[in-house]
Structure 1
Amino acid sequence: MLIANPRGGYHFLTGISPFSSGVVADPGFEVVHATLGAHLPWREGFELIDAHLCKFGRERQALCAIELRCTTPYSMGGFIGFNAGYVELVRSWDLYVDDHNPLARTNVAPAHNPPAEPVLHAFSYTAETDDDAPTTFVVSGAGEIPEATLDDNAIIRKGETGPEAMREKAGHVAATMGSRLAAMGASWDLVTTTDVYTVFMHEDLLEDAVIPSMGPATRHGLRWYRSRPPVHDLDFEMDVRGIRHEITI
């Protein structure tokens, strides 16, 4: 379900308590994507976000997406535990819309040079623009598990990482990206960035399971991060976005 967040200048696709499934800017606004030049512990990262938004005259409610990096994949219980502290902070910023967390999110564990603690990698926020500006959006990261589920028994081909299993996992995730785009009123032809997160990059995995879904978005290529999804036993994750302005701070 797509829900309006008029204080933030965007709509969001409902997800689960810790994050939404994606955000799309309202007419007169665009989503700006900001990558940190150096990672910060995630709570300090929120302080940086606050200062950045203030500098550009935007309220906290303009924040619409968060990208985190964790030290290693959590157990499902550990992931739920981390999310409790994260949700507490998001609520303290008065960002919830009724009982819904509007922020999109990706949270992955780098395979190389992982951080010593959970850190902020990037964030997105809305800024004013022309009413007829192109649609901009962020789709949250998703792994090979049914939507709105935090049950590790529901993981597709759990414990299997061979070529056939990974194609099934990747195909499911690519389809999830497509269904979220459609639910947000967007499409692959508006996607400017496609990110893939896995350590099991078998030959032809992307060609067989992901690229056929992308259609015109393939002109922008794909970015592969050798990273794990945030929950142990998940093996493939993707996120996508359609952005006009990318900055580094």
Structure 2
Amino acid sequence: MTHDFAAGNYRFIPAVFQYSSGAAAASGYEIERVRFDRLVPLAEGFAQVAAYIQAAGRPLTAFCACELRSPAAFTEDGFLKFNQHYVKTLAQWGIFDGTTNPVARSNVCPEIDPPAEPSFYAFSFTRPAQGIGNGAAPSFVIAGGAEARGGAGSYPERIVRYRDLSPEGLQEKVRFTTREMERRMELFGFGWNDTTAAQAYSIRDFHPVVADELVRRGALRSGLTWHFARPPVIDLEYEMDCRRVLREVVI
């Protein structure tokens, strides 16, 4: 089930308080993705995001997705504290109401040359469709998802093949995550054939399962961007996100 966030002109898949599972532009609107040429620390990043969105003539509530980079994987308690800090700005912007958060997010940890503090890598927002070429076509961003089942319980209880780095264990982790991307897209009425980009985050060698678990399912329609980074919580090993965005810039 998806919900409307009318103030931002997009739909979203409800998930947890810190992020949604995905955002899709409302009819007549499109998503623009903006990537920073260099990582920008969180507070400064939020300021630059606000300036960019407002310069585009859009309200801050148009902010619909972001991609973050953190120094290292968090403990469960550390992740909770980070998220409680992160949503304060979204509350100030009139996006987070204290319970529901429509903004999709990926937050991963580069294994080599990580940032000194949590930082922005990219963000997305909605704007009126430009109507040039495929400009009015649907657009969406699916949030980062790793091999952790939903529901109650600690991460060790929910992680698929917990601490299993065998070839079979990694394959099951990749399979679970790929299927989760598909489930989220289906809620918006989309599939791999609609995507313009897919990203994977892992420091493990998942190449042996790429053909069966990704290529044959159509996940690599537009190729795959692999970031040598860990998912945000200790003991998670593989994460993905994907999107259909026709307007992307680097600043």
TM-score between both structures, scaled by the size of structure 1 = 0.95
- Aligned partner of 1:151 in structure 2 is 154
Deviation at residue 130 of structure 1 after TM alignment: 5.5
Following superposition, the deviation at residue 70 of structure 1 comes to: 0.4
Alpha-carbon distance change, 115 to 37 in structure 1, aligned in 2, over 3 angstroms: same
- Aligned residues with identical type, % of pairs: 33
Residue type at the aligned position of 2:6: P
Q: Select between 16-25 and 128-137 the one with higher mean Cα deviation.
A: 128-137
Range with bigger deviation, 153-162 or 96-105: 96-105
- Could you tell me which residue of structure 2 aligns to residue 184 of structure 1? 188
Q: What's 1:221 paired with?
A: 223
How many residues are paired up?
247
- Counterpart residue identity of residue 231, structure 2: P
Partner of 1:87: 87
**1:133-169 CA-partner distances (Å, limit 9, x unpaired):** 2110000000001135672121111111121100000
Match in the other structure for 2:212: 208
Q: Kindly indicate whether residue 139 of structure 2 is the aligned counterpart of residue 136 of structure 1.
A: yes
2: CA distance between counterparts of 1:180 and 1:5? Answer: 17
Q: Deviations over 1:68-110 (max 9, x none)?
A: 0000100111111111101222112111268310000000000
Contact 1:8-1:63 at 8 Å conserved across structures:
yes
Residue of structure 2 aligned with 1:175, choices 151, 176, 179:
179
Separation in 1 of the partners of 2:151 and 2:247?
Answer: 30
- Residue by residue over 1:21-43, the C-alpha shift from the partner in whole angstroms, topping out at 9 and shown as x without a partner, is 00000111000000001111111
Gaps spanning 5+ residues in structure 1: where? none
- Runs (4+) of structure 1 exceeding 6 A deviation are none
CA contact (8 A) 2:195 2:221 kept: no
- Aligned partner of 1:234 in structure 2 is 236
Q: Secondary structure at the match of 2:96?
A: coil
- Note if contact 2:91-2:98 (Cα within 8 Å) is conserved in structure 1: no
CA offsets, 1:115-143, max 9 Å, x none?
A: 01110100000010168821100000000
Give distance in 2, aligned partners of 1:40 and 1:218: 29
How far off its partner does 1:112 sit?
A: 1.2
- 1:191 and 1:25, CA in 2 relative to 1: closer, same or farther beyond 3 A? same
- Contact kept? 1:32, 1:243, Cα under 8 Å: yes
- Secondary structure (helix, strand or coil) at the match of 1:220 reads coil
Unaligned runs of 5+ in 2: none
Matches of 1:61 and 1:183 in 2, distance apart?
22
Q: CA RMSD in A?
A: 1.6
Shift in CA distance, 98/87, structure 1 to aligned 2, threshold 3 Å: closer
**Maintained 8 Å contact 2:91/2:97:** no
Q: How far 1:219 moved relative to its partner?
A: 3.2
Aligned partners of 1:201, 1:186: CA distance in 2, in Å?
A: 29
